[in-house]
Amino acid sequence: MLVWPLVVAGAVAPAGPDRAWSALADNRPQDVLRQIRRDADSRAHRLAWAAARIGAQPATDASMREAEAVLAELESGTDELAAEAAYLRARIYQLHLNTPDFAQAARLYAELAGRQPGSHWAQLGLVKLGLLKLYLLPDLTDPGADRLAAAEALLPRIHEPLLRRDLELQIGQAGIVLHQPQARFLPHLIAAVEAGGITGNAREDLMVQIGVLSERAGDWARAREYFERYLAEYPTNVRAFTIREKLAEVKRRLAREGGA
């Protein structure tokens, strides 16, 4: 009875943050914007609002600036929410503005990692900073830049195993497209797959890659190991025929060189 006038008037009762988190997780940012006001009382609500503003369509620079203003206010704390806000702010500059500002994004990630190095969001930010260094900073006009080394330098600062794995994988893949020597990037691919948890085609590709690249480098023992593991996991895949042939060849080589 009491809420009836509100319902009639079209107002919506304030929602707990869980409802907003669920809507965000379900890729329904517009629902969050309907539930929460920009100047909501709780910081969690304001963070949810800013995240929804980033995700809602149409995504314009003006909406990103609105989100950034809220995030800038939230990041002034020292808790995990502040770190999350700082991370999202960097993401706006890296990904969501019509003309990204990669240098500014890199600066924000670095500041966050300096301020709250143990935070999950700082750790995730270091992975994204690694991507920037691999492909975008400095830009392609600097052919002498050792892009892999710049990203590798971030690895010791990432303590979360899954995030470290993700950056290892990115360094490995970047090594291929940047035509780096195999010895520079293959260890990163191996570290990524051995860290575990990579699923789907990405895992299949990695297993084949390590086997084939090891074979190309003449590391027959490692090639055999990964070919055998691949065939055990994916015996009927389209690549299985070629890998069986390669495995037979690798075994012949090992036998000939006494490494079997």
Tokens coding 86: 């700082």
- Contacting other proteins (CB under 8 A), which of 118, 197, 218, 259? 197
- Contacting other proteins (CB under 8 A), which of 12, 72, 202, 248? 202
Contact flag: residue 198 with other proteins (CB under 8 A): yes
Contact flag: residue 213 with other proteins (CB under 8 A): yes
How far is 236 from 194, CA to CA, in rounded Å?
A: 23
- Contacting other proteins (CB under 8 A), which of 91, 164, 188, 222? 91
Q: Which residue blocks in the chain are alpha helix, DSSP H?
A: 4-8, 17-25, 29-35, 43-55, 61-74, 80-91, 102-115, 120-135, 147-152, 161-177, 182-195, 200-216, 220-233, 240-256
- Contacting other proteins (CB under 8 A), which of 105, 108, 154, 174? 174
**Residue 115 contacts residue 108 (beta carbons within 8 Å):** no
Q: How far is the CB of 90 from other proteins (least distance, A)?
A: 10
Q: Which is nearer to other proteins, 8 or 183 (CB)?
A: 183
Interface ranges with other proteins (CB under 8 A): 17-18, 20-27, 29, 44, 47-48, 51-52, 54-55, 59, 84, 88, 91, 95-96, 120, 124, 127-128, 131, 134-136, 140, 162-163, 165-167, 169-170, 173-174, 176-179, 197-202, 204-205, 208-209, 211-213, 215-216, 234, 236-243
